[in-house]
Amino acid sequence: MRIIKPLVIVEDAIDGVAMAKKIEHFTRKCYKSEGKTTPDSYDPFIRKIFKTLKHEGIIEHRFVSVTFITDRGVSHESVRHRMASYLQESTRYCDYNEKGVTFILPPWVKMYDHTCGPTYDARVAWERFTGSCRQQEETYQLYRQQAGWTPQQARYWLPNGIKTEFAATLNLGSWYNFFRKRTAAAAHPQMRQLAVPLLRHFQQHLPMIFDSTELPVLDYPEANLIVHPGCEPVEFEEVFSS
């Protein structure tokens, strides 16, 4: 049994200038103003059309793929964004009997180790949390090993807190909608934990589109974000194993 931290993997190295120039290229066809294009006209042009004139459809012509490492509860919320393509780790076919079950550490659970000192309440809370995770794993393995349940049957016992990986490909318009909803104060804490660092990344590369979305400051740790345009395996940050 393992417990890991959530992770955001940007699968495409975002070339914001190239994307913005292509958006400008397509949009100027609407106004037949191609002759006004200059090497740096994309920024003020997109800001005017997208933010002032509210022609939001112009940003739907570029796509970015992101992989989220989170728990099943968060993934259930994410797929509500229907203007997207998803691929997700399957609990029907993945067998957690041999390698064990991996759980995601939620931001409201405080880890305990020897550096925390002799804080009884913190130690007991951490032991209860890890013990509950272990109990869920043992129930799954019991039904796999002794009751003969298949992986798709034994997943009945898997909780929302188990780790899942899902790849999401959205156009920039759908990402814009995603950030407005998923970084808001009313969004789930684990969803904000993923969405806030991702919004910051988009703002750095495409400010003319995304800098109007407020970047909140969380009172709990953000998920780590890495840019990983290759296909090599990615290591997770493990905080507990047994």
Distance CA 140, CA 100 (A): 9
Task: Print burial letters for 19-48: b (CB count within 10 Å at least 16), e (below 16).
Answer: bbbebbeebbeeeeeeeeeeeeebbebbbe
Task: Look at residue 116 in the predicted model and tell me its pLDDT.
Answer: 59
Amino acid, single-letter form, for residue 168:
A
Task: Look at residue 83 in the predicted model and tell me its pLDDT.
Answer: 85
Distance CA 134, CA 1 (A): 6
Distance CA 98, CA 89 (A): 17
In which element (H, E) is residue 84 found?
A: none
Backbone angles phi, psi at 85, to 5 degrees: -115, 135
Q: Residue 144: CB partners within 8 Å, gap ≥ 6?
A: 95, 97, 151, 154
Instruction: Give 126-131 contacts, CB < 8 A, sequence gap 24+.
Output: 130/3, 130/240, 130/242
Distance CA 61, CA 71 (A): 30
Task: Look at residue 229 in the predicted model and tell me its pLDDT.
Answer: 84
Distance CA 107, CA 218 (A): 10
Task: Look at residue 235 in the predicted model and tell me its pLDDT.
Answer: 87
What are the boundaries of each domain within the chain?
A: 2-16+64-241
DSSP string, 141-202: HHHHHTS---HHHHGGG--TTBEEEEEEEEEHHHHHHHHHHHSSTTS-HHHHHHHHHHHHHH
With a cut of 50, list the residues of the chain below it in pLDDT.
Answer: none
Residue with tokens 């003969």: 148
In which element (H, E) is residue 52 found?
A: none
> Which CATH number is associated with domain 2-16+64-241?
3.30.1360.170
Task: Look at residue 213 in the predicted model and tell me its pLDDT.
Answer: 92
Q: Please give the DSSP secondary-structure letter assigned to residue 205.
A: H
What tens digit of pLDDT does each residue of 17-42 get? 999 999 999 999 999 999 999 999 99
What tens digit of pLDDT does each residue of 193-204 get? 999 999 999 999
* pTM recorded for the entire structure: 0.93
Task: Look at residue 157 in the predicted model and tell me its pLDDT.
Answer: 97
Cα 110–Cα 192–Cα 196 angle in degrees, nearest 5: 110
Residue with tokens 């296909």: 231
